[in-house]
Structures are given as structure tokens and as C-alpha cells.
Amino acid sequence: GISEATRSKIVEYANAHGYQMNTAASLLKKKSITVALCLPELDGTSRYFYEDIWQGARSYLAERRDLKVKVLEFPYKQDTLSKCLAKIRRMMEEENLQLDGLLTSPPEDKKGIAVIHAMADKGVAVQFVIGDNKASSGPPTIMIWITIMLDVLANCFKRVCPKIVDK
């Protein structure tokens, strides 16, 4: 550890400069969070931005190893999103997979939508990557992977530590 004199200097400096501890960020370094990425595999047929999301999530996590965030990757082939979501749900039920968040494309069929609802009912924070849905008007206007990843982490954190985040 550090000496009491050094600790006092740090606290004095922090107080003088208006530093306020971010309790949520501190807890995120201590509490493990598991997020599933369920996005189209990179086979040359998926939309251009999915490669950026896959690479961005991997880069972000490599740079922020101090955060205890585990990402499970579930790439799926075109038109098999609902099957992939059902697989994740089965893993939650049969293998006791503890999932805090899910980043995925919005499902278009009733089966996929039902799985999303079931996951949300179990407390999984779901964040959709909008733009690959046939009902939407093309790619997202702002598709920045770090923003999406931070949204997922924020939603997960709200679920894991709601009393602290709501303060």
C-alpha cells in the first residue's frame, strides 16, 4: 500500500481540484459482467459496419483489461439470428450461463422476438444494433462502436448495481 502521508497528499489534491469518485466505475472494476455479442459473421455478405463493431468491441476490451467484462461471441449466418438467440437462451437455462447484456441485431420473426423478451424478463440488458433490419432505412446514421459498447456496459451496470447508479 501507500503511506498515510502520500494518501493525504492525494486526497488533498483531489479535493482541491473537485475530483469526485465515480462509484459506478470503481465497482465495474470489481464486479464481473458478461455480455453476448450476437451479430452476423464476417463472411463478406454482412453489412459493412458489422466488421467495425466486431473489431471495435475486441479492441476496446483489449485496451480496458482493467474492467471485468467478459464478451461471448455468437456470430450467426445470414437468416439464422433467431436460432442463435435461442442457443444463447438454452445456455442460460441449461448451462446456467449468467448473462448481463446482449448486443444484437433486432430479430424480425416472432420466435426471435419472444427470445429477446424472455431474456429481458430475466434481467438481461438488450441493446440493438439498428440498421440491418429490413424495416429500417439503411445503415445507422451514427454507428460508433464505442458508444454502443458503452451503452451495453451502462445497461449491464444498471442491472448489476441499480442502487448505486440511481443515486
* Helix axis angle, 110-121 to 81-94, nearest 10°: 30
Tell which residue, 18, 146, 156, has the closest CA to residue 100: 156
Q: What is the pLDDT along the chain (167 residues), one digit of tens a residue?
A: 688 888 888 888 888 888 776 655 555 555 778 889 998 888 776 666 777 777 777 887 777 777 777 889 999 988 899 999 999 999 999 999 999 888 888 898 999 999 999 998 888 888 887 654 444 444 443 334 455 566 666 666 565 555 444 44
Give how far Cα 144 sits from Cα of 54, 94, 151, Å: 12, 34, 11
